[in-house]
Structure 1
Amino acid sequence: MWRQERFEAADYINQIVPVPPVHVERFENRLQREFQSCQVFYLRFPDAYPFEPPVCQFEPGFFHPNVDEAGILNAPELRRGNGSRNYTATCRMYDILHHIVFSMVFPDPYSFASSELKRIFLTQKEVFESKVKRQVRENDPLMIQEEFEWET
């Protein structure tokens, strides 16, 4: 299992830390009940943390417009830069986690991971919603909780 191998890092700052499943509640009534889900992700902290942002990683193949094939979240809040939304060394862990959850609910149209996902998200809403619903069904919160407890 890829997570178990990466979690065995010896250096504390380089570990990929499992975060308990985040339960996505309704944000401004945008989500319907069938889209509520639990997703497990990992944060990898670089040697230069907090001056470099952590990397948020989901399971490879996770379906989301802002997540690439390797499972890395492409969000401005997790990138260094001069933009007002970009990561700075003063970002609190709460803010980082909030941005991750928020980007799961509201994909960033300027940070699509691939042109194919962008096309599906912008032009084929029914296809996009069916893939999201299937992924939600596959990520049963109880199963994820049991898997998380096994890993820790």
Structure 2
Amino acid sequence: MSLTKIRLQEERKLWRKDHPFGFFAKPVKTADGSLDLTTWKAGIPGRDNTLWAEGTYPVTITFPDEYPSKPPKVKFPAGFYHPNVYPSGTICLSILNEEQDWRPAITLKQIVLGIQELLGNPNPDSPAQEPAWRAFAKDKVTYEKKIKEQAKRYVNYSFN
């Protein structure tokens, strides 16, 4: 069994024992019903007292064959509105970048908590999409309105 698979089985055990309240994460099932440990679907709740509070936001986490040496790719749905999310949905976050702050010791729990933090506290120095970044920097009314509209779309998000 590969180091990647061993680590992902361990991550799954840790997650099932201890994960933050309101979050969910599961490996996807393949056509034959087995689990694909390299692709996970997860939900990240917006933090209380933020514009994001009403929603639980879907992400797909794809672990490369070189994991944990290389970080997973984490994506919201395409078109997700946030200054640090590319139009494709890919999240721009230093702990997910092997040239920046990725370390093999970073766990799934730390990744999803980092993304939750990023939702409410965008990094203006790392823009990934022009419209959300510009609104965040220069037009808070528009930014807040768009975030609240997006939150409503994900109020009861879950997956099976």
TM-score under structure 1 length normalisation: 0.76
Higher share of residues assigned strand: 2
Alignment partner, residue 120 of structure 1:
135
| Aligned partner of residue 88 in structure 1, secondary structure | coil
Alignment partner, residue 67 of structure 1:
85
| Deviating more after overlay: 89-98 vs 43-52 | 89-98
* Contact 2:54/2:155 (8 A) holds in 1: no
CA distance in 2, matches of 1:63, 1:116: 8
Alignment partner, residue 47 of structure 2:
25
Alignment partner, residue 42 of structure 1:
60
**Unmatched 5+ residue regions in structure 2?**
1-27
Name the count of aligned residue pairs: 131
Higher share of residues assigned helix: 1
Instruction: Report matched runs for 1:110-149 at 5 Å.
Output: 110-141=125-156, 144-145=157-158, 148-149=159-160
**Unmatched 5+ residue regions in structure 1?**
1-5
| Aligned partner of residue 112 in structure 2, secondary structure | helix
| Aligned partner of residue 74 in structure 2, secondary structure | strand
**RMSD of aligned C-alpha atoms?**
2.3
* Contact 1:35/1:132 (8 A) holds in 2: no
Task: Confirm or deny that 1:79 pairs with 2:97.
Answer: yes
TM-score under structure 2 length normalisation: 0.72
Identity %: 24
